């Protein structure tokens, strides 16, 4: 889901923002300091690497963990329904990555993004078959989970529409993803037969929105090559990166205050501390920060699921 996508500023901000966690994020987002996308990710004939690059299992597992944790917390223990909910949402997230890479084929080639489909390592036809198998798996696992089928179907439809919406309305795509990422939490809550307060969904959406904005800053050059004007094109990479980092840190801080229970509070605190360390880490590129942000995302997803009242 982008949950799901891993995604550059014209100002030099090292002096301007020196001293805070977001300072290093902003400094790393200067396109003049970013090297162009590599021409080859080395997929070759390694089909495990091709599948890994197409389905993005690390990001997909975060989505599945969110759904599974919410379901298991509602059922007060590990159950088949909770595990099936997590696996089903993981498969659906993988489906989303595959279909979006198919839809983004021309944009990714223009921008120099060397994902397996854009690089020609995996044909669009084979990728479509892979997506169909993943969607079938998600549907079967949903039947096992026993509830939430409507939410799963809405999630699948939203994933299909993501790329067309993002290409036609690029300024709206970050908000689209933020709302989309609330659906796994809703799905897990339905499987677990529980009600989560609206502010937990708001915190999750705020975090994801910040990460998507941060990705826009990192992908500024590639999006410009493809003729796509995102928020970073309007605000500049430095300002966009700062906004993204601030949203992520603020939502993590609010999460600590909102959740209940020792395990959830510890997970929320670990989310905030790991995120702050990630942004303060010297010499770390913006792209690498975005990749590593999956760790606080995973911790935060468990805190959300365990600490809802």
- Which ranges of the chain have pLDDT less than 70? 1-45, 308-309
Question: How far is residue 16's CA from residue 253's CA, in Å, rounded to a whole number?
Answer: 24
pTM: 0.79
Confidence (pLDDT) at 26: 42
- Chain-centroid distance of CA 73 in Å reads 23
Confidence (pLDDT) at 283: 85
Over the range 134-155, which residues count as b (16 or more CB within 10 Å of their CB) and which as e?
bbebbbebbeebbbbbebbeeb
Confidence (pLDDT) at 45: 57
Confidence (pLDDT) at 74: 83
Confidence (pLDDT) at 42: 47
**Domains by residue range for the chain, with CATH:** 21-307 (1.10.357.140)
Confidence (pLDDT) at 170: 86
Q: Look up residue 14 and give its two tokens.
A: 């090292």
Confidence (pLDDT) at 8: 36
| Neighbour count for residue 177 (Cβ, 10 Å) | 24
Query: Could you tell me the end-to-end alpha-carbon distance of the chain, in angstroms, rounded to an integer?
Result: 26
Confidence (pLDDT) at 309: 59
Contact 7, 218 (CB under 8 A): yes
CA-based angle 245:246:252, to the nearest 5?
A: 90
Confidence (pLDDT) at 32: 41
Confidence (pLDDT) at 24: 42
Confidence (pLDDT) at 222: 76
Contact 207, 91 (CB under 8 A): no
């Amino acid at each position: 889901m982008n949950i799901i996508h891993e995604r550059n500023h014209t100002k030099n901000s090292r002096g301007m923002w020196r001293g805070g966690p977001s300072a290093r994020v902003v400094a790393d987002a200067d396109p003049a300091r970013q090297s162009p996308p590599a021409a080859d990710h080395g997929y070759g004939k390694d089909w495990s690497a091709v599948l890994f690059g197409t389905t993005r299992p690390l990001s997909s597992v975060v989505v599945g963990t969110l759904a599974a944790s919410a379901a298991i917390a509602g059922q007060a223990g590990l159950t088949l329904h909770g595990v099936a909910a997590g696996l089903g949402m993981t498969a659906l997230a993988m489906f989303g990555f595959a279909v979006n890479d198919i839809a983004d084929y021309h944009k990714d080639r223009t921008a120099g993004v060397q994902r397996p489909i854009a690089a020609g390592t995996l044909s669009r036809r084979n990728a479509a078959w892979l997506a169909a198998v993943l969607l079938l798996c998600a549907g079967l696992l949903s039947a096992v989970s026993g509830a939430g089928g409507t939410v799963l179907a809405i999630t699948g439809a939203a994933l299909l529409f993501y790329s067309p919406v993002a290409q036609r309305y690029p300024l709206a795509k970050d908000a689209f993803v933020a709302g989309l990422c609330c659906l796994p939490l809703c799905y897990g809550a339905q499987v677990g037969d529980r009600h989560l307060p609206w502010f937990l969904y708001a915190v999750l959406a705020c975090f994801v929105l910040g990460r998507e904005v941060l990705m826009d800053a990192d992908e500024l050059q590639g999006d410009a090559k493809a003729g796509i004007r995102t928020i970073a094109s309007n605000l500049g990479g430095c300002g966009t990166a700062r906004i993204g980092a601030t949203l992520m840190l603020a939502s993590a801080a609010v999460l600590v205050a909102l959740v209940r229970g020792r395990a959830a509070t510890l997970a929320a605190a670990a989310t905030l501390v790991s995120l702050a360390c990630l942004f303060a880490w010297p010499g770390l590129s913006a792209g690498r920060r975005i990749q590593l942000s999956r760790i606080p995302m995973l911790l935060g997803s468990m805190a959300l699921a365990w600490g809802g009242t």
